[in-house]
């Protein structure tokens, strides 16, 4: 059984957090610390972009050097520290070293993450001051400030936590995330941090994180843009004394997936300029991989996203996107449904049903289902949002 609880990323025992303002952003909190009571198992998945920001490179290096053990994660918002050359790498390493000095742990046990504008140097004096202040404010109640401190264009902070009953006993999973623009499944573009008080050895935690990410953070898209700073990091404190073996492993994945899905959908709901959450479900595909590819193509279609924004039940845009997805699509056996209203079936339109579909599109939670007609068992779901003029305004003015 999985049950939602309060507490976010510090709901699991063994973790404290803090969020402070150090002046990187023009306003609001902009530096967060997430700290375990001691060295814990750690796992991470990162951007597939060939341009990888300094904090991504440092975090990956520290996971390898520490044997996937970490004590803390330090995060700044307002500056991505990406495309900043050797100085950027030095800055990311110094963030880890300063955090280690304040907490009394080796720098390789500190993972680093940054988010914000690309190509801007990180002000280390401000970061050092922020780390010092955050280290003095760590608490179990600090999760709310930490979730605020990692935001950039997010309209609200995102956190969630659950308890999980497993064959080995009850444990807790918590998390926080940020993301609003540059969101695309390749890891989805974001920062996300998951914690659990289960006792999980590092390789098993890494495997569980990969499974949880596959159909949550890797199944969302706002604008099809893969960033340079994507990171999803998981920490397992073991404070519950519930040991995750292979029998309990499915429960761990289920708990991590439950938290990750809540955070992932919240990212899309709060996408830049978004007014509607859109669930795109593809069925009848040759394989799960084919279904995911088709769902992603449909969800990223600008014509689909603008039609949803305008409340236009234009099933032709859905058929066209499915047809160019590069997977088997058989129009003569395909179907398109919007809000459960079938608008296209077996090669023929049902435009007389358009008013019912248009009524569904006037809501804020939109359901689209496409049967590819391939007759296979493959199915997948991708979450996206509509595309509005506000998205254009936000990104036209992002640096100015």
Q: Which residues are catalytic?
A: 189
Exposure of 18 in the CB half-sphere (CA atoms within 13 A): 18
- CA–CA distances in Å: residue 186 to residues 218, 232, 371: 6, 12, 24
Residue 337 C-alpha from the chain's centroid = 27
Q: How far is CA 88 from the centre of its chain?
A: 24
| 8 Å CB contact between 253 and 208 | yes
Distance CA 385, CA 196 (A): 30
Q: How far apart are CA 5 and CA 193, in angstroms?
A: 17
Separation of alpha carbons 291 and 92, rounded Å = 39
**Residues facing residue 175 across a β-bridge:** 160, 194
Residue 91 token pair: 């800055």
| Angle between helical axes of 202-214 and 249-269 (0-180°, round to 10) | 40
Q: Using alpha carbons, list the distances in angstroms from residue 29 to 15, 21, 300.
A: 20, 4, 32
């Amino acid at each position: 059984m999985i049950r939602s609880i309060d507490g976010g990323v510090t709901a699991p025992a063994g973790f404290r957090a803090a969020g402070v303002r150090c002046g990187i952003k023009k306003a609001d909190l902009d530096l967060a610390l997430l700290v375990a009571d001691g060295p814990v198992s750690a796992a991470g998945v990162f951007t597939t972009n060939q341009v990888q920001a300094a904090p991504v490179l440092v975090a990956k290096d520290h996971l390898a050097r520490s044997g996937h053990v970490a004590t803390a994660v330090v995060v700044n918002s307002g500056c991505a520290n990406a495309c900043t050359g050797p100085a950027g790498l030095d800055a990311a390493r110094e963030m880890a070293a300063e955090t280690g000095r304040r907490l009394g742990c080796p720098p390789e046990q500190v993972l680093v993450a940054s988010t914000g504008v690309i190509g801007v140097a990180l002000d280390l004096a401000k970061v050092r001051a922020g780390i010092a202040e955050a280290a003095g404010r760590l608490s179990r109640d600090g999760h709310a400030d930490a979730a605020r401190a990692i935001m950039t264009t997010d309209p609200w902070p995102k956190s969630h936590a659950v308890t999980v009953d497993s064959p080995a006993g009850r444990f807790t999973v918590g998390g926080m995330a940020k993301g609003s623009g540059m969101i695309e499944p390749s890891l989805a573009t974001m920062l996300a941090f998951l914690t659990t008080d289960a006792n999980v050895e590092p390789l098993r935690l890494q495997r569980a994180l990969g499974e949880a990410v596959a159909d949550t953070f890797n199944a969302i898209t706002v604008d099809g843009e893969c960033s340079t700073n994507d990171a999803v990091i998981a920490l397992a404190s073991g404070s519950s004394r519930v040991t995750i073996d292979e029998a309990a492993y499915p429960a761990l994945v289920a708990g991590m997936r439950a938290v990750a899905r809540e955070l992932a959908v919240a990212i899309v709901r709060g996408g830049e300029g978004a007014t509607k959450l859109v669930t795109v479900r593809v069925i009848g595909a040759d394989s799960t991989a084919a279904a995911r590819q088709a769902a992603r193509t449909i969800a990223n279609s600008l014509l689909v996203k603008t039609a949803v924004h305008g409340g236009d039940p234009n099933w032709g845009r859905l058929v066209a996107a499915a047809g160019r997805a590069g997977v088997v699509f058989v129009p003569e056996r395909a179907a398109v449904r919007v809000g459960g209203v079938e608008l296209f079936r077996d090669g023929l339109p049902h435009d007389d049903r358009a008013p019912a579909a248009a009524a569904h599109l006037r809501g804020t939670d939109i359901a689209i289902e496409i049967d590819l007609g391939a007759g296979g068992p493959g199915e997948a779901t991708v979450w996206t949002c509509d595309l509005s003029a506000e998205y254009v305004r936000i990104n036209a003015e992002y640096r100015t």
